[in-house]
Amino acid sequence: MELQIPTGLTDMLQEFTVVVLRERPDDMVDFAANYFTQLKLLNKASGNTKGVSFHSDKKASDEEDDEEEPLEPPKNRYVRRQSVSAEPLAPSDEEDDEEEKIVYPKTDQQRVRLNEAVQNILLFKNLEREQLTRVLDAMFERKVTPDDHVIDQGDDGDNFYVVDSGTYDIFVKIDGVDKNVGSYNNKGSFGELALMYNTPRAATIVATSDGILWALDRVTFRKIVLRAASKKRKAYEALIEKVPMLSEINMSEKMNLADALASKTYDDGECIIKQDDEAEFMYFVEKGVVSIRIQQPGESTDVEVAKCAEGQYFGELALVTHKPRAASAYAVGEVRCAVLEIHAFERLLGPCMEIMKRNISNYEETLNNLGVEHTDLR
C-alpha cells in the first residue's frame, strides 16, 4: 500500500527541526510538547498554519522568566515564518579565505563595549581567537533612535545584530496585523536565521529607545561564524570517535555531546585542574599532552602518576564521586582540550557512568603500584 504524506507535514517537521537545531533543548519531549501546544493555540487564534519558533540567548535566559504563556511568547522569543529553505548551515568552501579582511576602526572604548556585548553570544563560542578578532574587526556600530526599524519582516537578510544598549520590540505580522511578541532590553542578538538559511526576515525589530547595535555583514557571518560552527562539530565528532568509552553512546547522544563541548587552550606548564579544588569540567585532549600529578601530605613537590594524550580524557573522577579533585593536571607544551561542564556531563554521559566508576579501581591500582598514598577514591 502506498502511503501518502499529509499536506503540510513536511513543512511542519522541517520548521520544528530548524527550531530544535537552533535551540538544542535539554528535554526534547518537553520542548516538543510546548512547541506544538503553542502552535495549536496560535493557529486557533489567528487562523493560520504557520510554524512557531523560539529565539533566546541561553546565557541570558537563566536570568529571565521562562514561563510560557500560550499566545504571548517569552521575551526574546517569537513566531517564525512557515517554511525555511534548505540552504546548508555552513558556507561552501568556494568562499575565499584569502580575500581582503574587513576592518572598521574602533576606539578603545568602543572595543571594550563590543567585547562585553558579545560575551554571551553562543554563535561566537565556537570561534578561535584569530577568528573572533576578525569578526570583531568586521563589526560596525549602528546608532538607533525610537521608532527606527532595524529589520522588517519579509526583507532579505543583510546583517546579524548584537545589542549593545537600548530596548527593541519584536513584531510579527499575523492576519495582516503586526503583533508584539517580545522585546530585547540592553542585551541579546538577532537576525542570524535569515543569514543561516537564506530566508526572508521572520520578524520586524523596532527600536523603542535610543540605542547602539553592533552589526556583522552576511558574507563575513557565513564565512567565519557558520564555517567555524560546522568545523567545530565535525572536529568534536572525530574526537569522540577516538574515545573508546564513548562507543557506549548512540549517534544522537554523540551529536549532542559534540554540541556541548567547548575548546580551551593552555600554555606549557599551565595548571588545568588543581588538586582539592571543586570540579566543574571534564576534559578530552584534542592536542598535546597533559601531566596528571598528585601531591602527598607533607610533601612540597608532586608526583606524576599518568599522562593523557590526544583522544584520552581526564577530570571525570571528581564528577563521578562528587568529591574534590584527587589530582592536578598540567599542560606539557601547548595543549588544547574539549571541555564538558558538569551539568552536561551528568545529562549526556549517563550511559558511560558504569565504565567511569569501574575505572576508579584502575586509578587506585596505578597509585598503589607507584607507591603513592591516597584516600579511598570511591
- Does some domain include residue 35? no
**HSE of 157, CA atoms in CB hemisphere, 13 A:** 25
Same domain, 249 and 166: no
**Is 208's pLDDT higher than 90?**
yes
Instruction: Please report the pLDDT score of residue 368 as a whole number.
Output: 60
Q: Is residue 138 part of a domain?
A: yes
47 located within any domain: no
Task: Let me know how long the chain is.
Answer: 378
300/361 same-domain check = yes
Report d(CA 144, CA 210) in Å as an integer. Answer: 6
CATH number of the domain at 169, please.
2.60.120.10
Question: Model confidence over 286-320: pLDDT tens digits?
Answer: 999 999 998 877 777 888 888 999 888 888 887 87
Mean residue pLDDT across the chain: 76
Classify residue 56: in a domain, yes or no: no
- Domain membership of residue 318 (yes or no) is yes
The predicted pLDDT at position 224 comes to 83
Sign of the dihedral through C-alpha 97, 101, 107, 113:
negative
pLDDT in tens, 210-220: 999 999 998 88
Of 195 and 115, the structure prediction assigns the larger pLDDT to: 115
Q: Is 280 found in the same domain as 208?
A: no
- Is the pLDDT reported for residue 123 higher than 80? no
Mean pLDDT calculated for residue range 160-187 = 91
The residue type of 264 is K
Rounded to an integer, the average pLDDT of 135-141 is 92
**pLDDT for res 346:** 73
What is the reported pTM?
A: 0.47
Q: For residue 242, what pLDDT is reported? A: 80
Q: Residue 5: inside a domain, yes or no?
A: no
Give the per-residue pLDDT at 60.
37
Tens of pLDDT along 68-88? 333 333 333 333 333 334 344
Other C-beta atoms closer than 10 Å to the C-beta of 275 total 16
Residues 260 and 365 in one domain: yes
Residue 293 · residue 300 · CB < 8 Å:
no
**Cell numbers representing residue 140 in the block:** 560596525
- Same-domain status, 294 and 203: no
Domain count, the chain: 2
Query: Residue 333 half-sphere exposure, CB side, CA atoms within 13 Å?
Result: 8
**pLDDT tens across 1-46, in order?**
445 566 667 667 767 776 776 666 777 777 787 777 777 766 655 4
**Start-to-end Cα distance in the chain:** 58
Spatial distance between the Cα atoms of 58 and 81, rounded to a whole number of angstroms: 22
67 assigned to some structural domain: no
Q: How many CA atoms lie within 13 A of 205 on its CB side?
A: 27
Residue 196 is assigned to a structural domain of this protein:
yes
Which residue, chain included where needed, has cell 589530582? 327
Q: How far apart are CA 220 and CA 138, in angstroms?
A: 7
* In a shared domain, residues 217 and 258: no
Domain residue limits at 302: 243-370
β-pairing, 281-295 vs 204-207, is unpaired
The fraction of the chain above a pLDDT of 90, given in percent, is: 24
Q: What is the mean pLDDT of residues 112-126?
A: 83
Residue 306 contacts residue 292 (beta carbons within 8 Å):
yes
- Considering 169, 189, 223, which residue would you say is the last residue of a domain? 223
Does 317 lie in the same domain as 219?
no
256 and 191 in a common domain = no
Indicate if 195 and 147 belong to the same structural domain: yes
Do 272 and 347 lie in one domain? The reply is yes
Residues 262 and 343 in one domain: yes
